[in-house]
């Protein structure tokens, strides 16, 4: 791998922006080097985006039900999209849910095995996250072993059962379409949901046991869509110290009060609010209740969110970009990336200084994406 010195660009270092050369050797950032100079005048050199939660890959792995038979090709397409959006580490969040179909255990097993097989061959660091619906009690005995087999080290728990409707014995909206999409008879699907709801009282104790097992395995744990302080406190007590997309100010404050890490959705930031009417990510960020921003369902959004926060003055540029780089690195426990300093991985994104569009993305000094005029800077004779 060729040693390089990026010169002339505006570099975001641990102490802020500077114009000193950034030296890369053997995939790592070094204090000084004698590599070939790459003139990046007019460009910004920033830490690569670390996406701690995204499910935008679904359209690549299964564009239509039953249409994708070779998942490796879908993961390659996913990597291309991630790299084009400045993402150097991407966590692919895969459901195991009562919804079935593309969110069922069988499909998830295929996805996780494909990630384990394909990820080491890619440039972008692809990782997997299991999103588990809490009421699937029958799966609890097998989850620890399956996570070991899949090589998955991160799990988040969510409960998306429409309990209020089910308690009244009423079918939730769009249930028929959901059932048919999963290949189930709607009546059977509804009865399954009712049965899961009926065992709600058994879930907390079962979760205590499962989380204790996973914690002993060193699995990173989080909760998803918390709405109330008691719920978030329960997750903290189980060792789930990451709060993904808290729906309310109360839940976000509860997480921070316990020293837990809060992840918010980049689309929420870009939109200026939640599309579901939950707490505004912008408001939570303004209150200091955010440690990381994730793509959620839209890979272009982390970059746009960070730039928007800086442009509006809600955060300094360094702090805003930290929400998509150093903050996510902390969430994932990755101490080797997230900042551009000697001894760290050369994971970086190069933005056009004028348009702030992605010009190039590098992972451990290897090019994963490059477009436009910046190519002449790298490959000039």
38 and 158 in a common domain: no
CA distance 276 to 88: 29
Q: Full-prediction pTM beyond 0.85?
A: yes
Do residues 110 and 258 both lie within one domain? yes
Beta carbons within 8 Å of 53's beta carbon, 6+ residues apart = 91, 93, 129, 156, 244, 263, 294, 295, 296
**Mean pLDDT, residues 351-366:** 96
**One domain for residues 328 and 362:** no
Which tokens belong to 46? 């920033």
| Angle between helices 143-150 and 105-118 in degrees, nearest 10 | 30
Supply the mean pLDDT for the chain. Answer: 94
| The predicted structure's pLDDT at residue 230 | 97
Both structure tokens of 311: 């442009």
Q: Identify whether residues 74 and 7 lie together within a single domain.
A: no
Phi, psi of 158 (to 5 degrees): -145, 160
Domain count for the chain: 2
Q: What is the pLDDT of residues 183-210, one digit of tens each?
A: 899 999 999 999 999 999 999 999 999 9
Measured between alpha carbons, how far is 213 from 312 in angstroms, rounded to an integer?
45
Domain end point (choices 318, 335, 352): 335
The SS3 call for residue 131 is strand
Residues 6+ away with beta carbon under 8 Å from 120? none
Encode burial over 59-71: b for 16+ CB neighbours within 10 A, e otherwise. Answer: ebbbeeeeebeeb
Strands 16-18 and 10-13: antiparallel
Judgement on whether residues 178 and 200 belong to the same structural domain of the protein: yes
Same domain, yes or no, for 39 and 147?
A: no
31: helix, coil or strand? coil
Q: Tokens 């699995």 — which residue?
A: 219
215 pLDDT higher than 80: yes
Pure H helices in 151-202: 163-167, 175-181, 186-198
Q: Using alpha carbons only, how large is the chain's radius of gyration in Å?
A: 22
Residue 4 has pLDDT above 90, yes or no: yes
Per the listing, tokens 């790459």 go with 38
CATH code where residue 73 lies: 3.20.20.140
| Same-domain pairing of 255 and 284 | yes
Residue where a domain terminates, one of 320, 335, 350: 335
Q: In terms of domains, do 42 and 180 share one?
A: no
Q: How far apart are the first and last CA of the chain?
A: 18
Residue whose C-alpha is closest to residue 159's, from 247, 42, 265 = 247
CB atoms within 10 A of CB 303: 25
Same domain, 37 and 55: no
Q: Do the beta carbons of residue 118 and residue 183 sit within 8 Å?
A: no
DSSP H or E run through 83: helix 71-84
Least confident piece of the model among 36-50, 58-72, 115-129, 158-172: 58-72
Q: Is residue 66 located within the same domain as residue 40? A: no
Same-domain pairing of 99 and 196: yes
CATH number at residue 377: 2.30.40.10
pLDDT, one tens digit per residue, over 36-68 is 999 999 999 999 999 999 999 988 887 555 555
Containing structural domain, residue 329: 49-335
Claim to verify: residue 121 and residue 137 sit in the same structural domain: yes
Helix (H) or strand (E) holding 156: strand 154-158
The number of beta carbons lying within 10 Å of the beta carbon of residue 277 is: 8
Please, are residues 347 and 46 in contact by the beta-carbon 8 Å criterion? Answer: no
């Amino acid at each position: 791998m060729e040693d390089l010195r990026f010169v002339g660009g505006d570099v975001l270092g641990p102490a802020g922006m500077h114009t000193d050369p950034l030296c890369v050797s053997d995939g790592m950032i070094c204090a000084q080097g004698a590599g070939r100079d790459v003139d990046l005048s007019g460009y910004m050199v920033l830490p690569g985006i670390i996406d701690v939660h995204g499910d935008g890959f679904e359209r690549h792995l299964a564009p239509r039900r039953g249409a994708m038979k070779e998942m490796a090709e879908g993961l390659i397409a996913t990597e291309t999209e991630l790299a084009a959006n400045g993402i150097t580490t991407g966590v692919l969040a895969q459901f195991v849910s009562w919804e079935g179909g593309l969110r069922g255990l069988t499909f998830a097993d295929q996805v996780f095995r494909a990630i384990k097989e394909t990820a080491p061959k890619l440039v972008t660091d692809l990782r997997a996250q299991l999103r588990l619906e809490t009421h699937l009690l029958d799966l609890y005995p097998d989850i620890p072993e399956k996570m070991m087999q899949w090589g998955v080290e991160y799990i988040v728990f969510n409960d998306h059962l429409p309990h209020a409707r089910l308690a009244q014995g009423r079918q939730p909206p769009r249930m028929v379409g959901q059932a048919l999409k999963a290949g189930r008879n709607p009546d059977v699907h509804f009865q399954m949901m009712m049965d899961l709801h009926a065992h709600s009282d058994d879930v907390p104790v079962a979760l205590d046991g499962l989380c204790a097992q996973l914690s002993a395995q060193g699995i990173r744990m989080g909760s998803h869509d918390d709405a109330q302080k008691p719920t978030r406190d329960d997750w903290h007590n189980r060792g789930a110290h990451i709060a993904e997309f808290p729906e309310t100010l109360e839940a976000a404050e509860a997480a921070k009060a316990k020293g837990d890490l809060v992840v918010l959705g980049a689309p929420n930031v870009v939109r200026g609010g939640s599309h579901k009417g939950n707490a505004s990510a912008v408001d939570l960020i303004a209150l200091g209740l955010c440690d990381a921003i994730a793509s959620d369902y839209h890979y272009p959004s982390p970059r746009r969110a960070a730039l928007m926060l800086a442009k509006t003055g809600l955060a300094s540029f360094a702090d805003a970009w930290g929400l998509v780089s150093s903050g996510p690195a902390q969430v994932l426990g990755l101490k080797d990336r997230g900042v551009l300093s000697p001894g760290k991985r050369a994971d970086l994104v190069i933005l056009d200084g004028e348009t702030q569009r992605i010009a190039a993305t590098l992972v451990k000094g290897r090019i994963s994406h490059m477009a436009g005029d910046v190519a002449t800077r790298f490959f000039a004779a």
